[in-house]
A = this chain, B = another copy of it.
């Protein structure tokens, strides 16, 4: 019955070509498309989405899968067994959602986003509330279609982004993590804050660009299979044959450009490390958003915010940034890159407070989905959690519960993958440090190849071969835990703040 397997793979590879085509259209839309092309682009993307959906719900897929699942000889092959397992997962998910619900979600997301944009501009939660109410109700319906008997609604949604993730498991790790991070934040407030001056130097964008390109190349990003461009919000996407990164430049914040670039390059190295021969099948796909984020955060933080890295990087910075470096030093920039300043939004957060933003959302989403939190109480509850966790006063809903697009886009159960990325990154960095006899001397010499190859060997090349929890255990030798992350963070920030 390998005939069924071959037909199945040809079918999903074709669906993947449509998906990667859509990715290129979306990349173009964000990087260079003239504004007047928006309507036609939306129609092109809508058509590609429909063609993909037709393929993923094609009844032949279920028949081919059943044939494969009954074929012991086929399943003796580990690659085939993993692909069949993951394609069954995808097909079940695709066929459990009624077409009418999918259409209603798409329509509501589109309208809710417009309503959100208006409500945010006016800081008017009441204007967005009916849309959020509708969105929560639809997400509840979606979760009810998807969930297994032992999953909560939130679990069923989170499983879309991080297979196997459950709120109860996360809570066991997140609650003590939150308490330690709040305590760390409070301790740092009494420490010696590093000088942020270098981060605020005015530097031409063309110089910044040459600098961040040099760093991305040093990290091993393959520019014969990738590009780096600009967009309002940095992102990384695969177009099938190559990987497109974007970054952004502010004239007075070169560290933002560097951090964004190293972050997206970390994502890009994961995409480039997937095996080309498996392209378009589960074995050639990233396994979860948490694992993806671990790759970006490892390079952004464990590498890019370390003193060892800056000892290599400082002459590179001097070469590209010129006299903006005068009067600064590697040690000083290391400090500036690690300044902690609790803020109102995750995308501007430092490493110490980043996960506290995630904790707020983790609590609120579950309360919204169970119905325990009446929507009218959301803004006040948001503000209380920001005060308790981050120690900041939210001045208005625009900078509070209306701050970003996740909920109006229907992304419930998505936020914790950001924290999983941080925890996994610390576990992987510690394991690579042990395996390579210490990362520090390698980073000091700008020798990034051993780390990149370790990640490729233990994470990238597996694609979806193992569920995320198993991949983490295999690569790091331990189950998900905050120990490595907290040890790394408290040690580094303790040094920076002289505690």
Interface residues of A (CB under 8 A from B): 14, 17-18, 20-21, 24-25, 28, 32-41, 43-44, 47-48, 51, 222-227, 239-242, 279
Our pick among B44, B240, B279 for the contact of A21 (Cβ within 8 Å) is B44
A227: chain B residues within 8 A (beta carbon): 32, 34
Asked whether A242 and B17 contact (CB < 8 A) given A24-B25, A25-B24, the answer is no
Query: Does B35 lie within 8 Å of A25, measured CB to CB?
Result: no
Our pick among B17, B24, B47, B223 for the contact of A17 (Cβ within 8 Å) is B47
Our pick among B20, B28, B47, B223 for the contact of A24 (Cβ within 8 Å) is B28
Query: Does A34 lie within 8 Å of B226, measured CB to CB?
Result: yes
How many monomers of this chain does the complex have? 2
A43: chain B residues within 8 A (beta carbon): 17, 240
| Residue of A37, A51, A226, A279 with most partner-chain B CB within 10 A | A37
- The smallest C-beta distance from A269 to any residue of chain B, in angstroms, reads 15
What separation, in Å, do the CA atoms of A223 and B43 have in the docked complex?
21
Q: Which residue of B lies closest to A36 (CB)?
A: B225
What separation, in Å, do the CA atoms of A47 and B41 have in the docked complex?
19
Asked whether A36 and B240 contact (CB < 8 A) given A20-B44, A21-B44, A24-B25, the answer is no
Query: Does A36 lie within 8 Å of B222, measured CB to CB?
Result: yes
A24: chain B residues within 8 A (beta carbon): 24-25, 28
Query: Does A48 lie within 8 Å of B36, measured CB to CB?
Result: no
Our pick among B21, B47, B242 for the contact of A37 (Cβ within 8 Å) is B242
A51: chain B residues within 8 A (beta carbon): 51
A17: chain B residues within 8 A (beta carbon): 40, 43-44, 47
For the complex of A and B, 5 pairs with smallest distance between CB atoms: A37-B241, A40-B241, A36-B225, A37-B242, A40-B240
A48: chain B residues within 8 A (beta carbon): 21
Asked whether A34 and B225 contact (CB < 8 A) given A17-B44, A44-B21, the answer is yes
A36: chain B residues within 8 A (beta carbon): 222, 224-225, 241-242
A40: chain B residues within 8 A (beta carbon): 17, 20, 239-242, 279
What separation, in Å, do the CA atoms of A309 and B246 have in the docked complex?
41
Query: Does A37 lie within 8 Å of B240, measured CB to CB?
Result: yes
What separation, in Å, do the CA atoms of A227 and B44 have in the docked complex?
19
Q: List 7 A-B contacts (CB under 8 A).
A: A21-B47, A34-B225, A34-B226, A37-B239, A37-B242, A40-B239, A44-B240
4 additional A-B residue pairs with CB within 8 Å, beyond A17-B40, A21-B25, A37-B242: A20-B40, A24-B28, A32-B227, A34-B226
Q: Which residue of B lies closest to A43 (CB)?
A: B17
What separation, in Å, do the CA atoms of A241 and B48 have in the docked complex?
16
A41: chain B residues within 8 A (beta carbon): 240-241
A44: chain B residues within 8 A (beta carbon): 17, 20-21, 240
- The smallest C-beta distance from A306 to any residue of chain B, in angstroms, reads 30
A224: chain B residues within 8 A (beta carbon): 34-36
- The smallest C-beta distance from A21 to any residue of chain B, in angstroms, reads 5
| Residue of A28, A39, A40, A223 with most partner-chain B CB within 10 A | A40
- The smallest C-beta distance from A225 to any residue of chain B, in angstroms, reads 4
A33: chain B residues within 8 A (beta carbon): 241-242
Q: Which residue of B lies closest to A242 (CB)?
A: B37
What separation, in Å, do the CA atoms of A394 and B370 have in the docked complex?
79
What separation, in Å, do the CA atoms of A37 and B224 have in the docked complex?
8
What separation, in Å, do the CA atoms of A223 and B36 have in the docked complex?
9
What separation, in Å, do the CA atoms of A38 and B14 have in the docked complex?
17
- The smallest C-beta distance from A249 to any residue of chain B, in angstroms, reads 18
What separation, in Å, do the CA atoms of A411 and B136 have in the docked complex?
53
What separation, in Å, do the CA atoms of A230 and B39 have in the docked complex?
25
What separation, in Å, do the CA atoms of A242 and B25 have in the docked complex?
13
A38: chain B residues within 8 A (beta carbon): 241
